[in-house]
Amino acid sequence: MRFATRALRVAQEPDKQYQAVINPIYQSSTFAWDNLDTIPKIDYTRCQNPNRQTLEQVIAALENGNHCTVFGSGMAAVTAVFSLLQAGDHIAMASDIYGGTHRLCTTVLPRQGITMTEFDASKPETLDQAVNSNTKMVIFESPTNPNLRIMDIRKIVERAKAHGLWVAFDNTFASPALQNPLDLGADLVIHSTTKYLGGHSDVVGGAVVTKDQELGNAMFEWIKNTGAIPSPFDCWLTLRGVKTLECRMRTHCANAQAVAEFLEAHPKISKVHYPGLKSNPEHALATAQMTGFGGMVSCEVAGPATNARAVAESLKVFLLAESLGGVESLVGYPPLMSHAGMTEDQRVERGIPPTMLRLSIGLEDPTDLIEDLEQALATI
């Protein structure tokens, strides 16, 4: 089956009791045993639940993986991946990465005796300098948050495997509709299902997908022991979103392309970050490893930081809010939102100036989005 069909048909046969086309929500904490000699497949919702099981099977199929574990949030998924590390281990982290992952690596892992070194993922050879004798894992993402840099996944994987490292990759910005990192050699693919997979800004969740049985078992044991689970209703909502992922991403990409081209030509925008622009230095790489350029656009407003803030606060169709990947368009200000945990020097060093806005392009008419940006930019 092809992608859109898998999203609708994998593990989603009609309910056996009533032939319901949409499976019911199994809002039960516990499940009855027939007898003490036969342990049921599902007995307690902290360990597994029918709604969670279905969602895991579907996401695994969309990422071309064999095992998926879903979590109560994207950060719970990242934490589960880091649970593979032990005191004394070392991790190589891309410097251009989501602020929450950076915060976890710099504030939580050190208390557990795990050290970290950053590397420039746009230059795969820098990974070699970041690796120590106790390095066990590398983590990176592409497109990156919020710069939308495109990293050469194959080359980084090759470098990591030469050192015997686990490769963890955050695929949230692309979604499996546009990119399948497991096929490029990654060991663990992470998602904040809050974003494009759920797609409607009404549920929080995370997922880890792998082809490796041992790693899959480790993720399951971690969630069973820590209880960082999504509710049955959260899983049901996320699965509802996944059904339309392929067609939503087509519109996200088309709208983002139109917005990016408008911003690139606007005199009050000093820089546009979007891999779909032919002027983008990573356009060819994005074309080679993705099937679309995504629904995220970042831009830098000309002039002082107050101009960027004024534009963000003047938008009317775009909502000023954190998060991304929903059907509605959002504008975010990274210094106070996604990357607030970094110092200003750290942000600037990573190419996140105080003049940057991050746009999550939704499914509205692109003309309305462009007109909204035009009126907001006219206020400065």
What pLDDT, on a 0 to 100 scale, did the predictor assign at position 16?
Answer: 87
Q: What is the pLDDT of residue 143?
A: 98
d(CA 3, CA 306): 44
- Residue 107 contacts residue 348 (beta carbons within 8 Å): no
Query: What is the dotted CATH code of the domain comprising 246-377?
Result: 3.90.1150.10
3-state SS, residue 23:
coil
135-157 residue pLDDT tens:
999 999 999 999 999 999 999 99
In this prediction, residue 342 carries a pLDDT of 86
Rounded CA-CA distance 83/233 in Å is 26
Write the single-letter amino acid at 244: T
pLDDT tens for the chain, residues 1 to 380: 999 999 999 999 998 889 999 999 999 999 999 999 999 999 999 999 999 999 999 999 999 999 999 999 999 999 999 999 999 999 999 999 999 999 999 999 999 999 999 999 999 999 999 999 999 999 999 999 999 999 999 999 999 999 999 999 999 999 999 999 999 999 999 999 999 999 999 999 999 999 999 999 999 999 999 999 999 999 999 999 999 999 999 999 999 999 999 999 999 999 999 999 999 999 999 999 999 999 999 999 999 999 999 999 999 999 999 999 999 999 999 999 988 888 889 998 889 999 999 999 999 999 999 999 999 999 99
For the chain, strand residue ranges (E) read 67-71, 90-94, 115-119, 135-141, 166-170, 188-191, 206-210, 269-273, 296-301, 319-320, 330-332, 356-360
CATH domain 3-242 topology:
Aspartate Aminotransferase; domain 2 (3.40.640)
Q: Are 320 and 313 in contact (CB under 8 A)?
A: yes
- SS3 state at 35: strand
Bridge partner residues of 189 (DSSP):
169, 209
- C-alpha 108/C-alpha 78 separation (Å) is 12
Read off the pTM: 0.96
What gap in Å lies between CA 154 and CA 140, rounded to an integer?
12
- Distance, CA of 321 to CA of 338 (rounded, Å): 10
| C-alpha to C-alpha distance for 22 and 308, rounded to whole angstroms | 45
Domain residue ranges in the chain: 3-242, 246-377
- Tens digits of residue pLDDT in 121-134: 999 999 999 999 99
- The catalytic site residues sit at 46, 98, 170, 195
Q: Do domains 3-242 and 246-377 have the same CATH topology?
A: no
Look at residue 169 and give its three-state secondary structure. Answer: strand
Q: Cβ of 349: how many Cβ atoms within 10 Å?
A: 11
* Cα-Cα end-to-end distance for the chain: 51
